[in-house]
Amino acid sequence: MKIERIGESRLYGAGSAGGKGSGLVRINDLDLPKTRRLPTWILTTSFYDDFLRRGKVLTEDERSVLATILEEIGETPVGIRSSATNEASLTPEGIVSVRAGENTSFMLPNNHPDRPVRLQQVERAVVCIYEDFIGKQPPEGREKMAIVINPIPGVLDDTMAGPVYYPYISGVANSYFPHALKSQDPKEGYARIAFGHGYATVLDDFPVISMVTIRKPLPLKLLSTGPGQQFFYALDMTKNRGLSGEEMETMSRLHVRFASFHKIKLLGLKQNVVTIEELVQRDRFGFQTGLGAVMEAIASRTSSHFQIEFVFNIDFATRSEDSGAFHVVQLTPLPGVQLRPVEIPAEPGRTYISTTHAQGHGVKTGVRFAVVLSPFRYAKERHDEVRKRIAEINRTMRERREPYLFLVPGRLGSKNRDWGIQVDYRDVTGAVAIFEYGVDIAGRPEPLPEDQTLTGGIYGSHFLYMIQGGYDEDQKRLQTRMYGTQGTHFLTNIMSNNVIYGYLAPLEDVVDPWFFGGPGGVDPIALLPFPAPVSIYADSVNQRCVVVEEGSA
């Protein structure tokens, strides 16, 4: 078997390293400040090809490779991560798509006293990743799967809930922030960070902290996502044998009060809530300046915008201010968009939507259909049937090659059903524009705090990172509401594929009642043909988005 060593990376087989694997090979070749290289073992796509050809089983030679890798890693928790070829599709013309977070990965304790048991769990993780990927591929699919194996940098914590393991800080950072305030440079990027395992940052499950921007983060007290982080994800060290195939089965979601007090107090703690203020506002352990330096170093070696996933740990034995160190665990290049002003019709005819709360850029023409999930008929008790129906409609529209506009209540892609509909990006790939709509008696556009009673309606909606009020340079006032969803897998896919995405404030924006005049009855979702094709204009330079009937200007 071909084995290629590139720095800290070892590639097994003659195939592709996939999206994650290619990114880690590249990162390990860079000399980044305050960053330690992450040892990486990659089963290239030739392993996947052999798995299919041999009846979906691992051979003795392949098991031997896994045993060797496990021996080299030693007795430390290990990540077995998917690295599909479509996670960052690179062509001679550039980056054409990004599909993050759609495939299964596993975090394993790797601490069972019997080595064969540890190896069996790793083998099972590899097979589960392959089988999950195969089940998601369309008949004409050409994508393949590589697998990345890494030790997990982190700390062991003997909590009141049992022994767990987690990175001290996990985060997602983007090199560009398109909605920076006037006082901020969008090229400084933004980050989404959390205490504990990285699932807290790439999922949309509970509030975590956002840094906007990285160089000049806003004071945390101005962010309305709540006082900080109340929950965290950690690897349950007792789940060290067997796997059923569920990605999160080895993970525990715990309240921060279960973590060791002496660890979380170093981050900033207020009434059993982690604020991370010590790292973000006071630059403790060099976290805030170090992250900026890491991003600058990567930017100097790449021609495109990018996203990284990272972890940050400190030496608890010394608690030295110089002990903080980053590991970059993923690098994803993002497509660039030429942000030239979009010429929007000055006097359009029928206007279906007009809003100043949108992201994405450009013009989508010839859109003949809208998929509307009525905020008046939907209730979270119908979540599963609605999610299935959304995927079915998307599949039908893709087969018909019909792009569509999607109007939906709440936070699309959220894992929290009190906030919105849990879908993967693959469930809405035919949508060229998605608009979130909220209905709450109090007229609030933001999600309500978890400890607050709803005043009626369904629930508040959100915008991905809506800024209300902005920066008033004359009066030196900052009025900001940040919604910490940037950095999630769903948003990464939406942004990188330039899907126009907006929030409709019921009391501020133009929303044609036509959207809610579909078929009667109790069905909350409808596929509606526009009376005439529409065009969607999104100008992120001047912060305006409209949906207008074609030929009506």
Query: Could you write out the DSSP letters of every residue in 260-274?
Result: -HHHHTTT-EETTEE
Cβ atoms 421, 489 nearer than 8 A: no
How does pLDDT run along the chain (553 residues), one tens digit per residue? Answer: 788 999 899 999 999 999 899 999 999 999 999 999 999 999 999 999 999 999 899 999 999 999 999 999 999 999 999 999 876 544 434 444 566 667 899 999 999 999 999 999 999 999 999 999 998 887 777 889 999 999 999 999 998 889 999 999 999 998 887 655 556 677 888 888 999 999 988 887 787 887 877 887 766 665 544 557 899 999 999 999 999 999 999 999 999 999 988 899 999 888 888 989 899 989 999 999 999 999 999 999 887 788 899 999 999 888 888 889 999 999 988 766 566 788 888 877 799 999 887 777 789 999 999 999 987 788 778 899 999 999 999 999 999 999 999 998 877 887 777 777 888 888 999 999 999 886 543 344 444 444 443 333 333 343 333 333 333 333 333 333 334 456 677 877 887 778 888 877 766 788 898 998 877 777 889 999 999 999 999 887 777 889 999 875 4
- Residue 499: its pLDDT value, please? 87
What is the separation of C-alpha 461 from the centre of its chain, rounded to a whole number of angstroms? 19
DSSP E strand stretches across 99-175: 106-108, 145-151, 155-159, 162-166, 169-174
SS3 526: strand
Q: SS3 for 536?
A: strand
Give the whole-angstrom CA distance, residue 347 versus residue 371: 26
Contact between 536 and 502 (Cβ < 8 Å): no
Tokens coding 44: 């290239």
Q: What is the DSSP letter of 540?
A: T
Determine if residue 143 is left, alpha or beta; phi over 0 gives left, psi from -120 to 50 gives alpha, anything else beta: beta
**Number of residues that make up the chain:** 553
Q: What are phi and psi of 484, to 5 degrees?
A: -80, 60
Q: Cα(47)–Cα(57) distance, rounded to whole angstroms? A: 11
CA distance 21 to 146: 8
pTM of the predicted model as reported, rounded to 2 decimal places: 0.80
Burial state string for 26-38 with b = 16 or more CB within 10 A and e = fewer than 16: bbbebebebbebb
- Mapping DSSP to helix (H, G, I), strand (E, B) and coil, where does residue 131 land? helix
For the chain, how far is it from start to end, CA to CA, in angstroms?
A: 64
**Phi and psi torsions of 221, nearest 5°:** -70, -15
115-136 and 60-73 helices, crossing angle to 10°: 120
Amino acid making up residue 347: E
**pLDDT at residue 171, as a whole number:** 93
The pLDDT, as a whole number, for residue 215 is 81
Give the per-residue pLDDT at 472: 39
Task: Name the CATH code of domain 1-152 (choices 3.10.450.50, 2.40.50.140, 3.30.1490.20, 3.40.50.300).
Answer: 3.30.1490.20
pLDDT value for 459: 36
Evaluate whether the domain defined by 153-336 bears CATH number 3.20.20.140.
Answer: no
Tell me the C-alpha distance between 122 and 65, whole Å.
Answer: 11
Q: Give the pLDDT score at 9.
A: 93
pLDDT of residue 552: 55
